[in-house]
C-alpha cells in the first residue's frame, strides 16, 4: 500500500561500499557529480528499521543476529537518466540513544519514520515522540511514513500467539499521515520484501521532485491584507 506517491522511472541500484568516499571501485569522479541524498530512518526500537535496511541493500531477511544499528550505506541510483547517490543512515529508537540520535539528523534530506503495523504503541509514538523530535531538529525535512511488518497484520496465528495485539489498519495509517503532514505513506514487509523497494523509491522522489507549496486561496489573501 502506497499513499501519496506518483510513479517515476527507477533504473538501477548499485552498492558502492561505505568507506569515507562511499566508493572503492574507482568511480569517485562519477560519485562527485551525483546528487547526494541523505536518508535517515527513525522510529521506536524493534519496529524493524534495521531489517528493512538490510532487506533493501542485501535482498535478504536477517534471521539470526540483527544489529541495533545498520552501518551507513552508500549507493548510486539512476533516476530518469540522472545519477543520485543515496546515503542510508540508521538510528536507534531506544531512550538510551536520545542524546546521540539527533547527531544523525544534520544534513538529512528525507526521513523514513517507521512504526510497526502490529504495535499500537509505536504507532502512537509517531506523533507523541518522533514528530516533535524531528520538527525540533529538522523542521523542513520531508517525511516518508512507513508501516512495517505488513506480513504479520493478517497473520492469524501471530495474533493468536500474541494476545492483546491490535493491528493498525490502513485507514488509521492514512489518518496519521494526514495528521503529521507526511509526504507519503507506505506499508512494507522486510521478510517478504513487499514494497521495500517502494519505500526508498519514495524517499528519493520526495527529494528530487518536492511537492509544490499549496497556493493560498483568494479568500486567505484577502484576510492577510485586512
pLDDT level of residue 57 (50, 70, 90 thresholds): very high
> Rounded CA gap, 150 and 148, in Å?
6
> How many contiguous H segments (helices) and E segments (strands) does the chain have?
9, 8
Range of the domain at 46: 2-225
Compute CA 211 distance to the chain's CA centroid, rounded to the nearest angstrom. Answer: 17
pLDDT of 72 reads: 85
Per residue in 203-214, pLDDT (tens digit) is: 999 999 987 776
The total number of structural domains in the chain stands at 1
Compute CA 25 distance to the chain's CA centroid, rounded to the nearest angstrom. Answer: 28
> Rounded CA gap, 225 and 133, in Å?
34
CATH number, residue 26: 3.40.50.300
- Given a contact cutoff of 8 angstroms between Cβ atoms, the answer to whether 199 and 112 are in contact is yes
* pTM score: 0.81
> Rounded CA gap, 167 and 162, in Å?
11
Is residue 218 predicted with pLDDT exceeding 70?
A: no
Closest CA to 106 of 70, 138, 73, 71: 138
pLDDT of 224 reads: 53
Is residue 89 predicted with pLDDT exceeding 90?
A: yes
Amino acid at each position: 500500500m502506497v499513499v501519496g506517491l506518483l510513479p517515476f522511472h527507477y533504473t538501477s541500484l548499485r552498492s558502492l561500499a561505505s568507506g569515507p568516499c562511499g566508493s572503492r571501485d574507482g568511480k569517485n569522479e562519477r560519485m562527485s557529480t551525483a546528487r547526494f541524498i541523505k536518508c535517515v530512518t527513525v522510529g521506536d526500537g524493534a519496529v524493524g528499521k534495521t531489517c528493512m535496511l538490510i532487506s533493501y541493500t542485501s535482498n535478504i531477511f536477517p534471521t539470526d543476529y540483527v544489529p541495533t544499528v545498520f552501518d551507513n550505506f552508500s549507493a548510486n541510483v539512476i533516476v530518469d537518466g540522472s545519477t543520485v547517490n543515496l546515503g542510508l543512515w540508521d538510528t536507534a529508537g531506544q531512550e538510551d540513544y536520545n542524546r546521540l540520535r539527533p547527531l544523525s539528523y544534520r544534513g538529512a534530506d528525507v526521513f523514513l519514520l517507521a512504526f510497526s503495523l502490529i504495535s499500537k504503541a509505536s504507532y502512537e509514538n509517531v506523533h507523541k515522540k518522533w514528530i516533535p523530535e524531528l520538527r525540533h531538529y529538522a523542521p523542513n525535512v520531508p517525511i516518508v511514513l512507513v508501516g512495517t511488518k505488513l506480513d504479520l497484520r493478517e497473520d492469524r496465528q501471530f495474533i493468536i500467539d500474541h494476545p492483546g495485539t491490535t493491528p493498525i489498519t490502513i485507514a488509521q495509517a492514512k489518518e496519521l499521515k494526514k495528521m503529521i503532514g507526511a509526504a507519503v505513506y507506505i506499508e512494507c514487509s522486510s521478510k517478504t520484501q513487499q514494497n521495500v523497494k517502494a519505500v526508498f523509491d519514495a524517499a528519493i522522489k520526495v527529494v528530487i521532485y518536492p511537492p509544490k507549496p499549496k497556493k493560498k486561496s483568494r479568500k486567505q489573501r484577502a484576510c492577510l491584507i485586512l
